[in-house]
Amino acid sequence: MAGIVTRVRPRTDARSQRGSEEPAWVRGSLIAAGGLFAAVFLVLPLANVFWQAFSKGWFVYIQAIRHPDSWAAIRLTLVVAAITVPFNTVFGISAAWCIAKFEFRGKALLTTLIDLPFSVSPVVAGLMFAVLFGLQGYWGDWFQARDIKVIFATPGIVLATIFVTFPFVARELIPVMKAGGSDQEQAALTLGASGWQTFFRVTLPNIKWGLLYGIILCNARAMGEYGAVSVVSGHIGGRTDTLPLRIDKLYVGYQGAAAFACASLLALLALVTLAIKSYLEWRADAAHAQGQSDVSESDKTPNP
Amino acid sequence: MSIELRNVSKRFGDVVAVDDVSFSVGDGELVALLGPSGGGKTTVLRMIAGLEMPSGGDLLIRGQRVNDVAVQQRNIGFVFQGYALFRTMSVFDNIAFGLSIRRWSRSDIQSRVEELVGIFGLGGLERRLPHQLSGGQRQRVAIARALASKPGVLLLDEPFAAVDAKIRQELREWLVRLHDQLDVTTVFVTHDQEEAMEVASRIVIFSRGKLEQIGSPRDVYEQPVNEFVARFIGVMNVLELTVKGGVAQFGQLSFPSHGKADGQTLRIGFRPYAIKVSRNPAEYPFRAVLKHVFFLGVMLRIELVTPEGSSLRVRISKEEFSRLGLVEDEPVSFFIREYRVLGGDGEFEAHANSVLPEGFGEGI
């Protein structure tokens, strides 16, 4: 009765019999071209970051990272990410929920607005906040009267980063939620669950892989953002420099090894992000493939 | 628990999905909501569940008006068309969901789920995820989940649509037995008249948001209130005849004119079993050619083509077919034992279900 679930993957044969297959030399040269391109433009520069970081030895590397201004930059970057990512996670889930499960006036507009930060240059995004909150800006006087610093301070950096990383979570979740429909949520309601219980016990488990994927992308961008932050930060060493700004400052100041040392931290973050992303994609694929494979089994109706 | 709808309507924007529907379901009944797709039957079911709000009218469960009672408080079990099992939860957790929401103790949940697993023949599958189950198993999990907290009403939306034909038959019989055993008021939606006839004790027929008829399977089959019901429940042959000289005629076929004036059209309908056929061309008044024979098991469906070119469906038993010695593509004579007069706009005439006087039409 109990069948063993076996997933048969189509084996890709080296010598395919398909008539539409390109000749071997075409495939070979295409793969070689792709590989060469990736090596020259992706792998080599990344390896070079680490190479340059350690070019003057471990001591200089550690020194560069332990410099008070670098430490301050690392801390600020972490603080900004710690505020930005949860905010955009909550926003992303609610926006995706609205768009995927409800029909309302202005839905198309909201969908377009979510994409706005992707289409606006980060520098322009920074300038928008400078115009609003800066000393000469529209709301600048109001904030100055209350002694609240927004521009050239942490709040401005957080605002700019939130704007730039707005779309990541929502864009990941909208297709996942649309595909899921709302039947399971309705089923939970008929079983007595409240809205919150339904969300935490049914919706969230269903979207968790997509959500995690969106969060790590959001985090990577929040930590790596340069353009928008650069405009609102004011570049005050040890106070309003984030890690990317600090790297730029060191590099421009002819401290190449120190710049690359800090850059290696961001590069490392990128590699970790990629690794997690690949893992999550693999998990999601596996879950999807399992969902597709139907277990056919002797199906006898019991006597009640 | 009894359910009652009083003049219930539902509008989605400008579309009237349910139009002034009233009916009631008694305690412990098994009722089918039947109709073509888009007929409003699923909307009615969802309103009973509380998943849709009526735009007008009153909905009563056990005599209490529940229009404003939230879905969570209505104490109903709902089985969705695609089952809507929680795909990240095991069979056990799916069935236990409603119980843990209602804060049952761990041991009570355990014993209730075990009981249901036993009733529904799901033993050994408790740890499986929904995608590791067959269609029939999924459906049973969905029903078990809906019944776990012992609701007073079980509502099923197209419960057999998603399983293949062979299992469907078993599931129908199983649902009837389950209903007898659990004695829970059950309402299910279907577009399949055969399914409704076989499973339900009463059938509510919908068309375009309106309730057409409510009655036992036998009632709606034998006493359909209008042409829609007659044609939806089973097959009906329909002929259009012109009244001339007090007799409605269509070629050789003629019927009493039922009070229609000359030149008017008279439409008559008759069931396939109401036709008598003979190999002897002189035995009955009307002539036709036996065109096709379809073997459907015990019963046969044969098609007669009249000289006027209309084809009539006839249903006779296998025994009768061989007793009569009918042969395909041979001329036969036939006679319509029983027919109804259909109104122009689908309404039945008051004197419907007339029996053609024996011998009428002879010598014409």
Q: What distance separates the 2 farthest-apart alpha carbons in chain A? A: 83
Each residue of B104-125: b (16+ CB within 10 Å) or e? beeeebeebbeebbebbbbeeb
Q: Is A29 on the interface with B (CB under 8 A)?
A: no
Are the C-beta atoms of residues B131 and B123 closer than 8 Å to each other? no
pLDDT for the residue numbered A302:
52
Please report which confidence band the pLDDT of residue A57 belongs to, taking 50, 70 and 90 as the band edges: confident
Are the C-beta atoms of residues A262 and A185 closer than 8 Å to each other? no
Q: What distance separates the 2 farthest-apart alpha carbons in chain B? A: 82
Nearest to A288 by CA among B131, B85, B134: B131
pLDDT for the residue numbered B21:
93
Which DSSP string corresponds to A196-216?
HHHIIIIIHHHHHHHHHHHHH
DSSP tag of B284: S
Query: Is residue A89 scored above 60 in pLDDT?
Result: yes
Residues of A in contact with B140 (CB under 8 A): 302
- Mark the ranges of chain B whose per-residue pLDDT is less than 70: 343-364
| Beta-carbon pairs below 8 A across chains A and B | 102
Among the partner-chain residues B50, B149, B181, the one whose CB lies closest to the CB of A304 is B181
pLDDT for the residue numbered A65:
87
Q: In the predicted model, what is the mean pLDDT of residues A257-272? A: 90
**Mean pLDDT value across chain A:** 84
Are the C-beta atoms of residues B228 and B206 closer than 8 Å to each other? no
Query: Is residue A14 scored above 60 in pLDDT?
Result: no
Q: What is the pLDDT of residues A104-115, one digit of tens each?
A: 888 889 888 898
For residue A19, give how far its alpha carbon lies from the nearest alpha carbon of chain B (Å).
36
Nearest to B196 by CA among B204, B206, B186: B204
For residue B116, give how far its alpha carbon lies from the nearest alpha carbon of chain A (Å).
10
Map residue B155 onto helix, strand or coil: strand
pLDDT for the residue numbered B354:
41
CA distances for A286 relative to A9, A291, B94, angstroms: 12, 9, 22
Q: In the predicted model, what is the mean pLDDT of residues A64-70? A: 89
Q: What is the pLDDT of residues B67-122, one digit of tens each?
A: 999 999 998 999 999 899 999 999 999 999 999 999 999 999 999 999 999 988 89
Residues of A in contact with B82 (CB under 8 A): 183
pLDDT for the residue numbered A149:
83
The strands making up B210-215's β-sheet, listed across from edge to edge, are: B76-79, B153-157, B185-190, B30-34, B202-207, B210-215
Among the partner-chain residues A189, A192, A295, the one whose CB lies closest to the CB of B134 is A295
Check if the interface score ipTM surpasses 0.90.
no
CA distance B242 to B267: 9
CA distance A186 to B216: 32
pLDDT for the residue numbered B99:
95
DSSP tag of B274: G
pLDDT for the residue numbered A288:
62
Q: Say what percent of chain A tops pLDDT 70.
A: 88
Q: What is the pLDDT of residues A24-53, one digit of tens each?
A: 889 999 999 999 999 999 899 989 988 988
Contacts (Cβ under 8 Å, ≥6 apart) of A145: none
For residue B155, give how far its alpha carbon lies from the nearest alpha carbon of chain A (Å).
10
β B265-270/B237-244 pair status: antiparallel
Nearest CA in chain B to A293: B131
pLDDT for the residue numbered B259:
73
CA distance B362 to B285: 5
Query: Is residue A55 scored above 50 in pLDDT?
Result: yes
Query: Two tokens at A175?
Result: 């297709």
Angle at B42 between CA B38 and CA B47, to 5 degrees: 130
| Mutate: best of B45, B46, B69, B87, partner A, most A CBs <10 A | B87
pLDDT for the residue numbered A289:
64
Q: In the predicted model, what is the mean pLDDT of residues A220-231? A: 92
Residues of B in contact with A297 (CB under 8 A): 134, 137
pTM for the model: 0.76
**Mean pLDDT value across chain B:** 86
Cβ contact, residue pair A190, B170, below 8 Å? no
Cβ contact, residue pair B78, A302, below 8 Å? no
